[in-house]
Structure 1
Amino acid sequence: MSRASLDKDPHEVAAMFDGVASGYDRANSFMTFGFDRRWRTTTARVLDARRGEKVLDLAAGTGVSTVEYARGGAWCLAADFSFGMLHAGLHRNVPMVAADALNLPFADESFDAVTISLALRNFVDPKAALTEIARVVKPGGRLVICEVSTPPFAPIRFVHRRFVLKLLTWVGSRTSSNPEAYKYLAESMLTWPDQRTLGEIIASAGWTDVEWLNLTFGVVAIHRARKPA
């Protein structure tokens, strides 16, 4: 597996997720001490998907987030480039499709909203993906991203980087058949840009009204934006 600070090989990343797919949701809950459920619930509230809307849940993995977003009656599609992750989520009652974020198999202006949860940092080129996502969203449509971030309070930031991420890696290695995968995921958290920098990347990809909400002391942040009408 490539180091998180270097260019990511999409085939390696897909293979990594294929390898951990069967236990990914369980390991994710262990690694986040159950906070992943709260983050999904808050992301769903920010997304505010309603009946009659079409929502693309990109890099949806096994579709656990897609189920959450569909509770309001919207038609939600789970898309991921890991066949293993999609296969592990076939028991969920949501439509699924294999898709590459850099070349989405959808027509222009197909969706009212697109959401990505804890996965944007695994894209080979996040800005290019955000530009491609804008193509398939209707004018005035929404983008909602839940992603790891940087705690703004220095003492919490120090503890998180020095101790918590190491603990997460250890827990992940004990609950997964692929310990190297969770080492990579922890590294990717350390190298990911902070809230403002990610907001600037989103804006540079053509989105407007970019804003963010810190969750759990800023360990995770939700970014929201709109496609110009």
Structure 2
Amino acid sequence: MTRASLEKQPSEVAAMFDGVAARYDLTNDVLSLGQTRLWRKAVAAAVGARPGDRVLDLAAGTGTSSLPFAAAGAQVVPCDFSLGMLREGKKRHPGLPLTAGDATRLPFKDGAFDAVTISFGLRNVHDTDGALAEMLRVTRPGGRIVICEFSHPTWRPFRTVYTEYLMRALPPVATAVSSNPDAYVYLAESIRAWPDQQGLAARMGRAGWSRVAWRNLTGGVVALHRGIRR
């Protein structure tokens, strides 16, 4: 079984996601106790896609996260570096223009999009700061970014329970429902190692994003960060 190192070698991470593609959406729904659907709705509302908008959906996986933008009439481009995820997505959503791409070297021209979004993928990129700069490059002036990522629960007693769930309960649950449970041990470890809300906001600011703000979802288990390109 493939399990990526926290050093996040791109080939290892891509292979890991290739291996879980077939049951990835189902596994996420089970492990999050159904919260993923609520988080997707929050992302869609934050992006606020309108007819004619061009939206880049990074780490789109099988394309499930792109469907709300397409339904709103936007021209959405789902992009992922896992070919296994994209192949699975093409089976499920043949009408979506699924595109292979590395978040640190995006295959799009400057200012090509009105909005860029990434959900639960930024912490798996080997160069977070480079990815934030690339997302800025492909966003038009006045355009927006929305990042949905696991974060740090704000209530200390719950944070302890949550950490215990990640490291103890998640692996056996993943074993029951995932084709590659070892991958979910890496994902749990990567969540623990990820910066808190303020830390990510600071990195966005250093990359050039302005008016950076965030709001917590599910008590800070997930945070929704937003910013604007000047």
Fold shared by both chains (TM-score > 0.5): yes
| Partner Cα separation in structure 2 for residue 100 and residue 2 of structure 1 | 17
In the other structure, the counterpart of 1:204 is: 206
| Partner Cα separation in structure 2 for residue 168 and residue 216 of structure 1 | 17
Unaligned runs of 5+ in 2: none
Alignment check: 8 A CA contact 2:112 2:140 kept: yes
RMSD: 1.0
Tell me whether 1:15 sits opposite 2:15 in the alignment: yes
TM-score, length-scaled by structure 1 = 0.96
SS of equivalent residue, structure 2 residue 96: coil
**Deviation for aligned residue 1:172:** 1.5
| Partner Cα separation in structure 2 for residue 3 and residue 132 of structure 1 | 24
In the other structure, the counterpart of 1:52 is: 52
In the other structure, the counterpart of 1:189 is: 191
In the other structure, the counterpart of 1:97 is: 99
SS of equivalent residue, structure 1 residue 89: helix
| C-alpha distance after superposition, 1:164-203 (max 9, x if no partner) | 5432232112211211101100101110110000000111
Percent identity over the alignment is 50
Counterpart of 2:111, as a letter, is: E
Counterpart of 1:77, as a letter, is: V
| Partner Cα separation in structure 2 for residue 196 and residue 169 of structure 1 | 29
Counterpart of 2:101, as a letter, is: A
| C-alpha distance after superposition, 1:20-59 (max 9, x if no partner) | 1011111111111110000000110011000111000001
Alignment check: 8 A CA contact 2:20 2:179 kept: yes
In the other structure, the counterpart of 1:112 is: 114
| Partner Cα separation in structure 2 for residue 170 and residue 50 of structure 1 | 41
Alignment check: 8 A CA contact 2:4 2:16 kept: no
Unaligned runs of 5+ in 1: none
Runs of 4 or more, structure 1, over 4 Å off, are none
TM-score, length-scaled by structure 2 = 0.96
The number of residues matched between the two structures is 226
In the other structure, the counterpart of 1:151 is: 153
